[in-house]
Amino acid sequence: MSPRAARIGVFGGTFDPVHLGHLVAAVNVRHSLDLDRLLLIVANVPWQKVGGRVVSDAEDRFAMVTAAVEGVDGLEASRLEIDRGGTSYTADTLAAVAADEPGAELFCVVGEDVAGTIGTWERVEEVRRLATLAVVNRPGAPPPTGLDGWRVAQVEIPALAISSTDLRARAADGRPLDYLVPAGAIRCIRDRGLYAETR
Ligand code: ATP
Ligand code: MG
């Protein structure tokens, strides 16, 4: 019998900072879809966010994700987009993962807010061809539309109303991040002096 094709989750994000919403999504998608590996891929230049606000240095965001997944089975922080450099497009990332793992089945993990805007992605047809969309529910996001023609796996997770936007505001005015952000990532924030500039 030939071995089962690897099943790999590609979970892209800015992760500025990474939080329990991301991690609960990651472990539950991995479990529900029986994935061998789930890669949290730190965007180098998130094209949808530049211009609107200052995005933390990619190395700082990668350090936080690395600390957050340490010791968690099957979850990996990925430097793929950072090492590629330039603007981060999921189409290129999926192609790179597919080239690394020939024959693997790929799952592109998104929250419902992102799933609803996927039509705006660069070379979205390539994304649709390369991966099944794994969609997790997210508080405040309407159920996504416009996914006709996609292979979709909806994964129900405990609803956590946590966002990086809110966490940056909390950090900037000194409110606690505890139990919203993993302890290792909080240590990174302290050690690197992140999100404190407006305090
Ligand atoms: P920001 O507020 O800066 O946009 P964010 O909390 O939305 O940050 P991102 O890095 O933008 O985090 O999100 C990466 C991915 O994680 C997206 O697909 C997003 O939908 C998903 N996600 C983020 N937070 C949650 C959450 N609380 N529950 C489910 N999915 C989430
Ligand atoms: Mg977001």
> CATH code at 122?
3.40.50.620
Q: Kindly tell me if the per-residue pLDDT of 50 is higher than 90.
A: no
Domain annotation covers residue 75: yes
* pLDDT tens, residue by residue, 107-138: 999 999 999 999 999 999 999 999 999 999 99
What's the pLDDT at 152? 98
Residue 179 belongs to some domain of the structure:
no
pLDDT digits (tens, 9 = 90+) for 69-94: 999 999 999 999 999 999 999 999 99
- Give the predicted TM-score (pTM) of the model: 0.95
For 53, other C-beta atoms within 10 Å of its C-beta total: 9
144 part of a folded domain? yes
Answer whether the bond into residue 176 is a cis peptide, omega within 30°: no
Mutational test site, ligand 1, from 10, 20, 22, max ligand atoms within 8 Å of CB? 22
How many domains in the chain? Answer: 1
What domain range includes position 111?
7-88+98-160
Is 169 among the domain residues?
no
Measured CA to CA, the distance from residue 60 to residue 76 in angstroms comes to 16
Q: Tokens 């539309």 sit at which residue?
A: 145
Q: Which residues contact 24 (CB under 8 A, 6 or more apart)?
A: 157, 158, 160
Residues lining ligand 1, judged by CB closer than 6 Å? 13-16, 21-22, 25, 110-111, 113-114, 136, 138, 160, 162-165
Query: Judging by beta carbons within 10 Å of its beta carbon (0-12, 13-18, 19+), is residue 111 exposed, middle or buried?
Result: buried
Specify which residues 160 forms β-bridges with: none
Does residue 178 fall inside a structural domain?
A: no
Q: Is residue 93 part of a domain?
A: no
Asked whether residue 191 is assigned to any structural domain, the reply reads no
Among protein residues, the one whose CA lies closest to atom 14 of ligand 1:
13
- Rounded Cα distance, 90 and 66, in Å: 20
**Location of structure tokens 């990619």:** 58
Whose alpha carbon is nearest atom 20 of ligand 1?
Answer: 111
Task: Say if 119 falls within a structural domain.
Answer: yes
Q: Which residues pair with 154 in a beta bridge?
A: 135
Give pLDDT, residue 166: 97
Strand partners, 87: 45
CA angle, residues 183, 83, 28, in degrees to nearest 5: 45
